[in-house]
Structure 1
Amino acid sequence: MSVKDFFIFDKLITPKIITIIYWILMIVSVISGLETLVVMSYYSMLTAIIYGGLIIILGILFARIFCELILVIFKINTNLEKLNKSDIEENK
């Protein structure tokens, strides 16, 4: 990506940033789940395993859904650009 692309918006960088955000959210979900597991294990091990596991699984699931909803917008844009280019080539 050149400086020109950065200022003209020919190429989008947000999809790459969303991928990084997804990985960060996954790591945070795992750390939160493990932290819950450790803290709640003082009270009840079964409850700690259930809550810790739910936090990990649901955290990763919601992170994925959130990032996919944002990426769908960019995929629509990419497909519209392809469609526009094919229409222009057909009309020549």
Structure 2
Amino acid sequence: MNARQILYFDSMLTPKIITFVYWLSLVGVVIGGLGTMFAGRSFASFLMGLVVIGGGAIATRIYCELLIVLFKIHENIHKLAEKA
């Protein structure tokens, strides 16, 4: 990827960043879940922490996959436009 591709938006930079954002978000979900687990002193807060970790991990994965799908659609449309 050269500077011209980036400056003229011929190549997308964001898909490379999405993987980093996914792992960063996953760390945040785990920290938030652990905070929820041990913030209260009841079994319900412990279970809620597990739900936050599980649900947050799944939601983060789905969100990042949807973003990547959008960029894959862009790449395929770009390839079709080059063929025409």
| Counterpart residue number, 2:48 | 51
Aligned-residue sequence identity (percent) comes to 38
Mapped partners of 2:79, 2:5: distance in 1: 18
| C-alpha contact (below 8 Å) 2:37/2:45 kept by paired residues | yes
Q: Which runs of 5+ in 1 are unaligned?
A: none
Q: Which runs of 5+ in 2 are unaligned?
A: none
Which structure is larger by alpha-carbon Rg, 1 or 2?
A: 1
Matched positions, count: 84
Over 4 Å off, 4+ runs: none
Q: TM-score, normalised by structure 1?
A: 0.78
1:35-55 CA deviation, whole Å, 9 max, x = no partner?
111112x2x1x2132111100
| Counterpart residue number, 2:78 | 81
Question: Match of 2:28, as an amino acid?
Answer: V
| C-alpha contact (below 8 Å) 2:38/2:46 kept by paired residues | no
Q: CA RMSD in A?
A: 1.6
Matched, 1:10 2:10: yes
Mapped partners of 1:6, 1:57: distance in 2: 37
Mapped partners of 1:34, 1:66: distance in 2: 22
Q: TM-score, normalised by structure 2?
A: 0.84
